[in-house]
Amino acid sequence: MIRIALMLTAILGLAACETVGGFGEDVSTAGQGITAVAQDVEDELD
């Protein structure tokens, strides 16, 4: 549940970025968070 809240916070942070470069960094960070959560879920299922 905490991970989902962190992911939502990261995604909402995208709305606050002011530059294209900042947007790219925000998207990258959000993608890394999603990847980490997906890996955790996969590990739990194994």
DSSP codes joined into one string, 1-46: -HHHHHHHHHHHHGGG--SHHHHHHHHHHHHHHHHHHHHHHHHHH-
Q: How many CA atoms lie within 13 A of 6 on its CB side?
A: 11
pTM of the full structure: 0.53
Q: What pLDDT shows up at residue 20?
A: 64
Q: What pLDDT shows up at residue 18?
A: 58
Per-residue model confidence as pLDDT tens digits over 1-46? 778 888 778 777 766 655 666 778 888 989 999 999 999 999 999 8
Residues 10 and 19: their CA atoms lie apart, in Å, by 16
Number of domains in the chain: 1
Boundaries of domain holding 22: 2-45
Q: What pLDDT shows up at residue 24?
A: 81
Residues 29 and 14: their CA atoms lie apart, in Å, by 10
Q: What pLDDT shows up at residue 39?
A: 93
Q: What pLDDT shows up at residue 16?
A: 65
